[in-house]
Amino acid sequence: MWVVLVLIWLFLGNSNADTIKEKAVALSEDKVLEKARRDREALLEKPRLDKEVLEKASLEQEMVIEDDQDIIQEILLRLPVESLVRCTCLSKKWNAFISYNKYFRNTYISRHGGQALMMGFFLDKVYRGKETTACFLPTSSDGRTSKVPNKRKRCDNLTYDDDVDNPVDCSLSFLGHDIVHVLASSNGFLLVTLLERNSPVTYMICNPINKQQIVLPKPNLELSPQCVVHGFTCDAALTHYKIVRALCFETLHYTTPLTLEIFSSDLPQYWRRYDLTCPCPYFLDLSLGLAGVIKECVTYLPACREIPRIECPEQILLVFDESKEILQVMDVPPSEDDMTSSFFGMSEGLIVFGLFDLHQLKMWSLNDKGDGEREWSPKHKVNLKTRVENYFECAKDSFEGVMNLIAFHPADSQVFFLGSGNKNYQYHVNSSRFELICDLVRGYEFFPYTYPLIGPHLFRDH
C-alpha cells in the first residue's frame, strides 16, 4: 500500500526537503489511501505474480520507511487516529514503526491526544450513610455523539436501553473489591479508592474497559486530614500520570498553611510532600466536585478567600507551580447575582470556569501568558430563557430557579451538564439542544468518562 508514498516522492522531483514535506502532506489522505488500495488490489489480481514478487513488493514498502522516514513520519503524524490504526496492519515493520516508536508516539499524542469518545458518567454517592460502590451511567450508544438514550434512568436501580452497547465494567468488579469510590477521571482512566472516600490512603488507577490497573504506594499515614481534594491527570497510554492530594484538616475553616502530596510516574516510588503558605486566609472549596485540575507542572485548586466585614466568602483558585514551588492566588470570573452556581474543570484540554448566572450559562477559558501571568477569556454566554423552549419547565425543580453546573464535557466545550432538583440535563450550545440524561433520587457526584481514540490499543511500550 505504501509504495504510493514513494511515487509521491518521485513525482515531486528534486525539490528541497522542506518543500517535499509540505507538498506530500498537502496531498489528500483519502486519495492517497484510495490509490494505495487500488494499487494493492491490482497487484494481487495478476495471476502470474509468484511469491518472490509479492515478497519483493512487501520489502519495497518497508524500505520506504528507512529511505524517506522524515517525510512519511510527517504524513503519519497528520493522519486521523482511525487511519493510523489501519496503517499498523500493513506489515510488522509498519506496526513497529507506529506502535513502538516512543518519539513518534509522544509527538502524535501531543497533536491528537484530545480526541476521545464520551461514554457516560461514573456516579459516586456524596451523602453519608451506607457505603455504596460507584456505578456507571451510559449517555450514548457509541460514544461518538452526545445523543442520550430515550429511557430515563434512576440510579437506585440503573437500567440501560437495549440499544446501548456498553463495553465498560460498570461496577468495577474486576478490581476485586465490593466497595469502590471514584475520585477523578482522565483519558479513559479512573483514580479510585476503596472504602475511604473522604480521606483515602489506598489508591488505584484503572481502565474499566480493558481492565488495566496499577496500585499506588500509600501516602504519609502520619497525616490525618478531615478530607482531601484530589487532582488527577494521565495520558492515553498511562505512561505519564500525576495525582495531587490537597489536605484539608478542618473544613470551612480559614487558614494559611497548605499541605500537598504529589505522586507521579516521574518518581513512582513515593509521595512528595510540599508544606506551603497561602498569601491570604482561605479554605478549600468542597462544593466544586472535590477536584483540582492539573496542567503540566501546575495544579489549580478551588478555594474560598476571606473578605473582611463580609460573611460570604469569595471564590478563588490556588495555583501551585511545582517546578518553582510557588503558591499563588488567582481570582475567578465574577458573577452578577448572589444566586449562582459555578463549576471548574477542563474541556478540550483547556482550563475552564463556568457560571449559571441570571438564567445565563457562561464559560471562560484560562490563558497562561507565562511568568505566572494568567487571564480569563470569555468563551460562551447563552441566555437559556430565550434559547431553550422548555427551559422554565426544566428549571422549576431547582432551588430559586438556579440550575447547578455539574460537569463539562471533557472533549467538547460546547456541551454542559446541569442539574435541576433530581433531574440532570445536557445542553449543547450550538444546537441549543437540552436533553434529560437521568433522574436521580439521591445526590451523586458526576465523573465524565471518555475513552481516548489514542491508547494502549495503538501505542505500546514493549
Rounded to whole angstroms, how far apart are CA atoms 189 and 237? 10
Domain assignment present for 355 = yes
Question: CB-side exposure of 165: number of CA atoms within 13 Å?
Answer: 3
Domain assignment present for 419 = yes
User: To the nearest whole percent, how much of the chain has pLDDT over 70?
Assistant: 73
Strand partners, 426: 417, 435
**How many structural domains comprise the chain?**
2
Domain assignment present for 359 = yes
Q: Which of 70, 99, 128 is the last residue of a domain?
A: 99
Query: Does 26 have pLDDT greater than 50?
Result: no
- Write down the pTM of the prediction: 0.73
Q: Which of 33, 67, 99 is the last residue of a domain?
A: 99
C-alpha cell at 453: 481514540
Phi-psi region of 13 (alpha: psi -120 to 50; beta: other; left: phi over 0): left
Tell me the residue ranges of DSSP E strands in 306-372: 314-321, 326-331, 340-347, 350-357, 360-370
Query: Does 152 have pLDDT greater than 50?
Result: no
Q: What's the pLDDT at 459?
A: 65
Split at pLDDT 50, 70, 90, the class of 429 is very high
Domain assignment present for 314 = no
Among the residue ranges 25-34, 171-180, 270-279, 302-311, the one predicted with the least confidence is 25-34
Answer for the pair 172, 181: CB distance below 8 angstroms, yes or no: no
Domain assignment present for 95 = yes
Q: Rg of the Cα trace of the chain? A: 25
Query: Does 313 have pLDDT greater than 60?
Result: yes
Q: What's the pLDDT at 391?
A: 85
Q: What is the pLDDT of residues 179-221, one digit of tens each?
A: 899 999 998 899 999 877 778 889 999 988 888 899 999 998 8
Q: What's the pLDDT at 461?
A: 55
All residues at 6 or more sequence positions from 311 whose CB lies less than 8 Å from its CB, including other chains:
none
Tell me the residue ranges of DSSP E strands in 165-240: 181-186, 189-193, 203-206, 213-215, 227-234
Split at pLDDT 50, 70, 90, the class of 457 is low
Domain assignment present for 159 = no
Range of 68's domain? Answer: 3-99
DSSP state of 258: E
Domain assignment present for 358 = yes
Domain assignment present for 437 = yes
